[in-house]
Copies of this chain bind each other. A is one copy, B any other.
């Protein structure tokens, strides 16, 4: 995902978020402060976290006032920082700094939240072959940023949408006339650049998927023991991904199955925000 800061989806998100918060303008700051009061401000972490999304700072503030000077990010994407760490620094007119404060914090506290949760899962499976993978269970409008934060946290990205990856779910099999027929149709119709992954919930489904020529498997809603057995059965013929009901408490047990990937919706849909705040002071 190169050059995310210039991606039109990210730029539109920033614009939308600012319009959502500013409405017709910041009536408090506009009245409370002299229009040209100068200030310096820093965003700090109020708890330990993994950093993600700092490149958003100049997008938010630059849109409000191109004269604001936003320093390059004080930390790398993916860095683990302690409570109190300074992440972003800006100087210029106080009014636009304050007008953008909440939007920027809302973006960063979520990106850092996703990266931090991902890192915890990654740490929990260290020493196994399993990669931690995201899903399409993302917050609407925030997917590109969330996928970036997963990557910053040490995870691996699954497909970004319905068009850049093929996942034949059990629903498709049931509605479409069986694994063999469905996989054959998909192979014939879909663009040739895409692998065909097939969701399975039992050994017989795994057998059918392999027989149909699946390029990869997704084993959904298995217990760790069941996962272990199915992974062994596949025996490395194709990559295997596990999903469903996986938490920080049990992810190590799933990883011990030898699966190649473990995908977790909570990385993006339920990551708690990281506490961040902005410290601002006037400049002489």
List A residues 148-174 near B (Cβ within 8 Å): 156-169, 171-172, 174
Q: How far is the CB of A43 from chain B (nearest CB, A)?
A: 14
**Number of A residues with CB within 8 Å of any CB on chain B:** 103
- Mask, A117-158, CB within 8 Å of B = 1, is 000000000000000010011111111100000000000111
A21's partner among B136, B194, B216 (CB-CB below 8 A) is B136
List the one stretch of A22-30, A80-88, A226-234 in contact with chain B: A22-30
When the two chains form their complex, are residues A175 and B269 in contact, meaning their CB atoms are under 8 A apart?
A: no
Q: How far is the CB of A261 from chain B (nearest CB, A)?
A: 7
When the two chains form their complex, are residues A25 and B4 in contact, meaning their CB atoms are under 8 A apart?
A: yes
When the two chains form their complex, are residues A193 and B176 in contact, meaning their CB atoms are under 8 A apart?
A: no
When the two chains form their complex, are residues A20 and B9 in contact, meaning their CB atoms are under 8 A apart?
A: yes
A141 (CB) vs chain B CBs: closest residue: B141
A15 (CB) vs chain B CBs: closest residue: B8
Indicate whether A210 reaches chain B with its CB closer than 8 angstroms: no
